[in-house]
Amino acid sequence: MHGWADLYAWQLDRTSRTPLSRQIYMQVRSAVLSGALAAGTRVPSSRVMASRLGVARASVVSAYEQLLAEGYVESRHGSGTFISQEVAGLATRRRTARAIRRTVPIPAKAFPDFERSAMQGEARPFNTGRTLIDARTAETWRTLTHRAVRQLGPYDLGYADPAGLVELRANICDYLRAARAVQCEPEQIVITAGTQQAVDIAIRVLLSAGDEVWVEEPGYPLTYAQLMLARVRPHAIAVDEQGLVVDAGRRKAPRARAVFVTPSHQFPSGVAMSMARRLELLAWARQSGAFIVEDDYTSEFRYSGPPLASLQGLDESEQVIYVGTFNKALFPGLRLGYAVVPRALLQAFVGARYLIDRQPATLQQAVVSQFMQQGHFAAHIRRMRQLYREQRDALAETLVRRGAGSLEVALPDQGMHLVAYLRDGTSDIEIEAAARRAGIVVRAISRFYRSARPRPGLMLGFSGFPRQLIVPAAARLAMLVANRDRR
């Protein structure tokens, strides 16, 4: 009995909203799992326990019944109730097993450089991947969400089409045809959790271990990491002022099975792929039987002239998987994107999407569908495009004016970030670290190179910060770079 007295030396919290029966159950269960109560220990009667704890007997009876039902205690006819032989000390044994397993090295070589994406939760300028939502969009979103919740039906509460809601896919199809010249039908659209999941599914469907693929250099690190995880062989292909150098790809990996590109706003340089290169890339894919994965991650935000037509819209042989996202156009926490899939790949793509996480969440899809259908999406994009242009211009102007010739700013026609190139000899890794110490988040683009000699520069997001934060932070960064150059 001494073990029980030790256990219940703790006071039950009578002010807590947790019922006393639940508190008793949890404390006894914890003692059993930790080994504080050994197997075979006799359990006091409910009457004795209630008296010892100063609670109603019914609370103890309820706790005992739960412990008995879950196997923590066992009843022996004519003898009483005892701690089970099966579960006593189980948590301790599990901790020991985990400790032993942790002594074995965990292979991590397939997961390179994920800390860059982890930074995106920070709210300091000039973090990337961040967006702004104005009061009009916020209020509309709340209204549509409340309405969607009130209208929940059996379809919303159960399993649904793994490709996504029919209504949302139709609205996306209409939008893409008008805004991006994408050739598609609603049934070709598969809703995903964003660009990253769409790329992951494409890799699973298209490639096997050992297959060769092209990726851009510099390029998006998470796509490269996903390819490494799938044990394929990515070849870094140079990007120049016209985009991916197709001839370089032919020379380096003529038997590549796929190419992953960001043609409308190359990551990270911001270069738009020329029409000649687009046609050349499509011709190569058609001749070699390879597929193109077109990541159109910031197509909505173009600041001069109409949006560029998609690469997919030029494809006559259905060899382009077009990938887009609402997480950049609206907000990252939404976790909704889409892929336009060639018909020959559609069954495999939907099947893989089903196996990964069954289906996208129906409530958020319903809200986005209504947001698009009622015209709010187009209006939101128009307002944000104007705002982001102003923020881009303020950032670029401040960097050039205060940088004393230390920075060369590439002003992008599209997207949510710009690149400020550093004077020769300056390490962008060192500037990245110094800026962080000064409370500024930038990304060294040398991290995005795989084989070629990197051109040092800083990637700065401008979409997630108001102008009143951008200007002083940009001035501090420019002075930091200029002072470092003078050393």
Backbone angles phi, psi at 414, to 5 degrees: -150, 160
Residue 103 lies in a domain: no
**CATH number for the domain that contains residue 313:** 3.40.640.10
Backbone angles phi, psi at 325, to 5 degrees: -150, 145
Condensed to tens digits (0 to 9), the pLDDT of residues 23-49 reads 888 888 888 877 778 888 888 888 888
**What is the predicted pLDDT for the residue at 264?**
94
Give dist(CA 115, CA 117) in Å, integer.
Answer: 5
- Residue 146's contacts (CB-CB under 8 Å, 6 or more residues apart) are none
Clarify whether residues 362 and 446 are in a common domain: no
More confident residue, 217 or 486: 217
Examine residue 218 and say whether the peptide bond preceding it is cis (omega within 30 degrees of 0): yes
Q: What angle is formed at CA 205 by the lines to CA 204 and CA 208, rounded to 5 degrees?
A: 60
Overall domain count for the chain: 3
Residue 220 lies in a domain: yes
pLDDT at 99 over 50: no
**What is the predicted pLDDT for the residue at 423?**
86
CB 286 within 8 Å of CB 319:
yes
Clarify whether residues 409 and 441 are in a common domain: yes
pLDDT at 9 over 90: no
Closest CA to 284 of 214, 220, 351: 214
The percent of residues above 70 in pLDDT, for the chain, comes to 90
Which of helix, strand or coil describes residue 142? helix
Clarify whether residues 368 and 449 are in a common domain: no
DSSP H helical segments within 80-194, as ranges?
Answer: 90-101, 115-118, 135-150, 154-157, 166-180
Clarify whether residues 159 and 268 are in a common domain: yes
Clarify whether residues 161 and 78 are in a common domain: no
C-alpha dihedral (278, 283, 285, 287), degrees to nearest 10? -170
**What is the predicted pLDDT for the residue at 37?**
80
Residue 297 lies in a domain: yes
Clarify whether residues 223 and 297 are in a common domain: yes
Bridge partners of 337, per DSSP, are 192, 325
Condensed to tens digits (0 to 9), the pLDDT of residues 316-326 reads 999 999 999 99
Clarify whether residues 275 and 392 are in a common domain: no
pLDDT at 94 over 60: no
pLDDT at 106 over 50: no
More confident residue, 92 or 297: 297
pLDDT at 110 over 60: no
pLDDT at 371 over 80: yes
Range of the domain at 462: 379-485
The percent of residues above 90 in pLDDT, for the chain, comes to 69
Exposure string over 349-366, b if 16+ CB within 10 A, otherwise e: bbebbeeeeebbebebbb
Residue 116 lies in a domain: no
Which of helix, strand or coil describes residue 74? strand
Q: How confident is the model at residue 438 (pLDDT cuts 50, 70, 90)?
A: very high
Residue 108 lies in a domain: no
More confident residue, 424 or 417: 417
- Residue 358's contacts (CB-CB under 8 Å, 6 or more residues apart) are 159, 162
Clarify whether residues 287 and 255 are in a common domain: yes
Closest CA to 486 of 408, 441, 423: 423
**What is the predicted pLDDT for the residue at 487?**
61
Clarify whether residues 14 and 51 are in a common domain: yes
Clarify whether residues 369 and 437 are in a common domain: no
Domain limit, last residue, from 374, 407, 430: 374
- Least confident span in 117-126, 235-244, 452-461: 117-126
Residue 263 lies in a domain: yes
Domain limit, last residue, from 374, 409, 442: 374
**CATH number for the domain that contains residue 414:** 3.90.1150.10
pLDDT at 81 over 50: yes
Condensed to tens digits (0 to 9), the pLDDT of residues 332-358 reads 999 999 999 999 999 999 999 999 999
Clarify whether residues 248 and 393 are in a common domain: no
pTM: 0.78
Residue 137 lies in a domain: no
Clarify whether residues 370 and 397 are in a common domain: no
Residue 172 lies in a domain: yes
Q: How confident is the model at residue 118 (pLDDT cuts 50, 70, 90)?
A: very low
Condensed to tens digits (0 to 9), the pLDDT of residues 137-195 reads 999 999 999 999 998 887 778 889 999 999 999 999 999 999 999 999 999 999 999 99
Q: How many CB atoms lie within 10 A of CB 86?
A: 10
Domain limit, last residue, from 67, 92, 117: 92
**CATH number for the domain that contains residue 27:** 1.10.10.10
Written as six digits, the tokens of 321 are 């998987």
Give dist(CA 192, CA 163) in Å, integer.
Answer: 8
